[in-house]
Amino acid sequence: MRPVAAGRTITRNTPDTSSMALIVQKYGGTSVGSVDRIENVAKKVIGYRGQGHDVVVVVSAMSGETDRLIGLAKAIDPRPNPRELDVLISTGEQVTIALLCMALEKHGQPARSYTGAQVRILTDSAFTKARILAIDGENIRSDLAQGRVVVVAGFQGVDEDNNITTLGRGGSDTTGVALAAALKADECQIFTDVDGVYTTDPRIEPRARRLDRITFEEMLEMASLGSKVLQIRSVEFAGKYNVPLRVLSTFQEGNGTLITLEDENMEAALISGIAFSKDEAQITVTGVPDRPGIAFGILGAVSDANIEVDMIVQNIGRDGTTDFTFTVHRNDFERALEIVQGKAVELGAREVNGDRKIVKVSLVGVGMRSHAGIASRMFQALAREGINIRMISTSEIKISVVIDEKYLELGVRTLHEAFQLDQAPAA
């Protein structure tokens, strides 16, 4: 086993598991959902130790526990004091770190648990959604050097004034990545109940294929477009610090999906996956006077109400008026519609329409950057199935279309087929 020294530099683009020195492993709620499962995690960790790796483990609360704690708080006050809420909900992870260490010790593996505050995972003071500012890895390094496995409570930290903070739902992923970055780990492994990242949701397209690799950028698009495998912030963090991130199953053998920077040896996939989001709604304002300040007049009011606007389309003006369409989250639809109706009267627009039965389907792939014609292939495939496209937006590595909700499944399957995503790309 190689000693892990502070500030060691590692080539992290090509993790070589045979000589790996330091791994941070995160186990999610279902993976530690019972005493038996915690024992199973202990055995897995001991297995990795047996291969010569130093292991730092980050755990979530047992499945359902965080929800249960939030329920208790809300039974007292529907809007509990955020500082106290964090004191409460951070306890779930404290239970699992202790139990996992007991299990490790029982099997002869020295281990030590730490809460976020004990490590000193320093965060800002935004209770229930704090951001990590700095991590002191000293005690962890010294424990590792003494042959211990270190088990850290996910999802929590401490602010400058020693208040306990939490990082937002799913925040243990971010704890794992942040620790991996701070300790300059060779890899951060996220163990969960799925065996990797898929080309699309297998519940919609059973021929969806597990990806061996995907880039941070693509994963961010997939995650923000509704594939909920990882907390988005953890992917941003991993990309920023170039921490190779691997998603793999706790319950099944396999290499999972590695999320890394793009490199030349990467499988030559044009498209990595199809993401979709069902929670969309569309608002159209027609006959808006075509003059400066109109977009601001409409969208400014929407954003002042803290409603996030996604796609925006404005037509070329004709006869002094123009049309304006945008999408919002379905939960915000009624509120946004009301605001826009008010604004439309003020601005002298002709009409406001809304539709909450729309979805967004997106092709994601870094290969798009260097290949033309992807968009037309996409539109052609949808047209062949008679799927009408209502809106289109593109970025460097993504093409999104808004279509009627009833075409979601057909649309996803059609595109999966058209881009042959069920087949591994030729190397």
Q: Contact residues for ligand ASP (CB under 6 A)?
A: 28-29, 60-61, 66, 92, 154-155, 169-173
The residue at minimum Cβ distance from Mg ion is: 170
229 DSSP 8-state letter: T
66 binds, options Mg ion, ligand ASP, none, Cβ within 5 to 8 A by partner type: ligand ASP
Residues 294-353 interacting with Mg ion (rule: CB under 5 A): none
Stretch of residues binding Mg ion (CB under 5 A), selected from 164-172, 178-186, 366-374, 408-416: 164-172
Q: Which is nearer to ligand ASP, 85 or 399 (CB)?
A: 85
Specify whether the CB–CB gap between 145 and 3 falls below 8 A. Answer: yes
Minimum gap (Å) between residue 173 Cβ and Mg ion: 6
Stretch of residues binding Mg ion (CB under 5 A), selected from 28-36, 206-214, 269-277, 413-421: 28-36
Minimum gap (Å) between residue 213 Cβ and ligand ASP: 24
**Rounded to whole angstroms, how far apart are CA atoms 288 and 13?**
51
Minimum gap (Å) between residue 170 Cβ and Mg ion: 4
Dihedral of the alpha carbons of 233, 56, 128, 197, in degrees to the nearest 10: 40
Q: Which is nearer to ligand ASP, 66 or 272 (CB)?
A: 66
Size of the site for Mg ion (CB under 5 A): 2
**Rounded to whole angstroms, how far apart are CA atoms 273 and 417?**
11
Q: Which is nearer to ligand ASP, 178 or 402 (CB)?
A: 178
Specify whether the CB–CB gap between 95 and 29 falls below 8 A. Answer: no
Minimum gap (Å) between residue 292 Cβ and ligand ASP: 45
User: Where would I find the beta strands (DSSP E) of 130-203?
Assistant: 132-135, 149-153, 156-158, 164-166, 187-192
Q: Which is nearer to ligand ASP, 91 or 284 (CB)?
A: 91
**Rounded to whole angstroms, how far apart are CA atoms 177 and 352?**
45
Minimum gap (Å) between residue 309 Cβ and ligand ASP: 27
Residue matched to tokens 């608002």: 283
H/E element holding 281?
A: strand 273-289
Q: Which is nearer to ligand ASP, 73 or 261 (CB)?
A: 73
User: Where would I find the beta strands (DSSP E) of 54-179?
Assistant: 54-59, 111-114, 121-123, 132-135, 149-153, 156-158, 164-166
Minimum gap (Å) between residue 192 Cβ and ligand ASP: 10
92 binds, options Mg ion, ligand ASP, none, Cβ within 5 to 8 A by partner type: ligand ASP
Token pair, residue 198, equals 């898929």
What DSSP string runs through 237-260? Answer: HHHHTT--EEEEESSS-S--EEEE
Instruction: Single out the residue of 25, 26, 28, 54 in contact with Mg ion (rule: CB under 5 A).
Output: 28
**Rounded to whole angstroms, how far apart are CA atoms 199 and 214?**
10
Phi-psi region of 77 (alpha: psi -120 to 50; beta: other; left: phi over 0): beta
Minimum gap (Å) between residue 191 Cβ and ligand ASP: 12
Q: Which is nearer to ligand ASP, 164 or 402 (CB)?
A: 164
HSE-CB of 175 using CA atoms within 13 angstroms? 37
Q: What are phi and psi of 55, to 5 degrees?
A: -130, 130
In total, the chain counts a number of residues equal to 427
Minimum gap (Å) between residue 256 Cβ and ligand ASP: 18
90 binds, options ligand ASP, Mg ion, none, Cβ within 5 to 8 A by partner type: none
170 touching Mg ion, by CB under 5 A? yes
H/E element holding 238?
A: helix 232-240
Q: Which is nearer to ligand ASP, 172 or 215 (CB)?
A: 172
Minimum gap (Å) between residue 154 Cβ and Mg ion: 9
Q: Which is nearer to ligand ASP, 20 or 58 (CB)?
A: 58
Chain contacts with Mg ion (rule: CB under 5 A): 28, 170
